[in-house]
């Protein structure tokens, strides 16, 4: 009847009005805001009322992402509440896994919960997310290694993390940090000792450049499959090598270039008589 239609129309307008009120100006939902602020009881109430856990905030992150990266003790419980109501397919579409968020902030307790819930330990950052980092990292394992978080490295590898997915291998990072424990873990789980840096390939394994200061590590790598003969190869053979810059003005120019690279987060590694550059 017309009267019934008018009541239905009024109810829809009323519902839409409240939906508008319940959403922040930046698009964040009450569930997102409650998660961000660590309000465990409010999160529990909202989930019990079928709040949508798959609606992202302004940055494209879901409430689960926010819970994974925050440092509050209550958020481990919030993570556990959000996991069953969060779509893994929706997580994949964000281009970043909650695993990345947890490992970046050294939230080992949350990392363990996410692994137990079946989140993919080999999930990689989207190209857009990866470009936010100068080293083009992509895996949670890389985050764990660069943070020197051995416990997280161990958990990820035990859960099946592949140590060879990143452009710049986690093994190179561990060798540069001089952490033999992490190097050992990575090698035991199949890290490619003989990998090169795609942007600056060498005739010898790139990891050697980072382990020359740590002779026990260097020996360990050689003993576990490192190619030794390639260290004696030279792309120039017996032909003359290119001249090395010797004038003061040229040396100053190189120094200035190197300083600029350092400021941009790029390390220059000298392996006489050549220089190799690695984005770091």
Q: What architecture does CATH give domain 27-94? A: Alpha Horseshoe (1.25)
Q: At 111, which helix (H) or strand (E)?
A: helix 108-116
pLDDT at 230: 75
CATH level 3 topology of 119-233: 1.25.40
Q: Which residues contact 41 (CB under 8 A, 6 or more apart)?
A: none
What is the three-class DSSP state of 222? helix
Q: What is the Cα–Cα distance from 137 to 127, expressed in whole angstroms?
A: 10
* Residues 109/111/115/119 CA torsion (nearest 10 deg): 140
Q: pLDDT per residue over 228-247, tens digit each?
A: 787 777 777 778 877 766 55
Burial of residue 190, with CB atoms counted within 10 A of its CB: 0-12 exposed, 13-18 middle, 19 or more buried: exposed
Say if CB 258 and CB 252 are below 8 A apart: no
Average pLDDT over residues 197-218: 82
pLDDT at 5: 37
Q: For the beta carbon of residue 173, count every other beta carbon within 10 angstroms.
A: 26
- The average confidence (pLDDT) of the chain is 81
Average pLDDT over residues 160-186: 96
Where is pLDDT greater, at 258 or 174?
A: 174
Q: What is the Cα–Cα distance from 126 to 35, expressed in whole angstroms?
A: 24
Selection from 265, 239, 172, 251 nearest residue 212 by Cα: 172
Where is pLDDT greater, at 98 or 272?
A: 98
Classify each residue of 13-47 as buried b or exposed e, where b means 16 or more C-beta atoms within 10 Å of its C-beta.
Answer: eeeeeeeeeeeeeeebbbbbbbbbebbbebbeebb
How many Å from the N-terminal Cα to the C-terminal Cα in the chain? Answer: 70
Burial of residue 71, with CB atoms counted within 10 A of its CB: 0-12 exposed, 13-18 middle, 19 or more buried: exposed
Give me the percent of the chain exceeding a pLDDT of 70.
Answer: 75
pLDDT at 236: 74
Q: In the chain, list all ranges with CATH 1.25.40.20.
A: 27-94, 119-233
């Amino acid at each position: 009847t017309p009267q019934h239609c008018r009541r239905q129309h009024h109810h829809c307008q009323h519902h839409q009005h409240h939906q508008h009120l319940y959403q922040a100006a930046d698009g964040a939902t009450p569930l997102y805001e409650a998660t961000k602020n660590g309000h465990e009881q409010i999160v529990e109430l909202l989930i019990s009322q079928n709040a949508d856990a798959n609606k992202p905030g302004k940055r494209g992150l879901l409430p689960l992402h926010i819970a994974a990266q925050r440092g509050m003790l209550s958020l481990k419980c919030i993570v556990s509440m959000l996991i069953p109501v969060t779509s893994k397919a929706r997580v994949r579409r964000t281009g970043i896994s909650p695993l990345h968020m947890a490992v970046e902030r050294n939230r080992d307790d949350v990392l363990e919960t996410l692994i137990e819930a079946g989140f993919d330990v080999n999930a990689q950052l989207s190209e857009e997310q990866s470009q936010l980092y100068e080293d083009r990292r992509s895996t949670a394992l890389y985050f764990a290694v660069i943070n020197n978080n051995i416990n997280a490295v161990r958990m990820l590898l035990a859960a099946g993390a592949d140590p060879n997915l990143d452009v710049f291998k986690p093994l190179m990072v561990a060798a540069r940090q001089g952490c033999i424990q992490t190097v050992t873990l990575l090698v035991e789980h199949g890290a490619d000792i003989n990998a090169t840096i795609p942007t600056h390939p060498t005739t010898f394994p790139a990891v050697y450049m980072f382990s020359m200061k740590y002779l026990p590590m260097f020996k360990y790598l050689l003993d576990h499959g490192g190619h030794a003969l390639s260290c004696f190869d030279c792309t120039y053979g017996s032909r003359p090598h290119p001249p090395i810059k010797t004038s003061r003005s040229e040396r100053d120019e190189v120094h200035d270039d190197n300083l600029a690279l350092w400021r941009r987060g790029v390390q220059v590694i000298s392996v006489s008589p050549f220089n190799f550059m690695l984005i770091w």
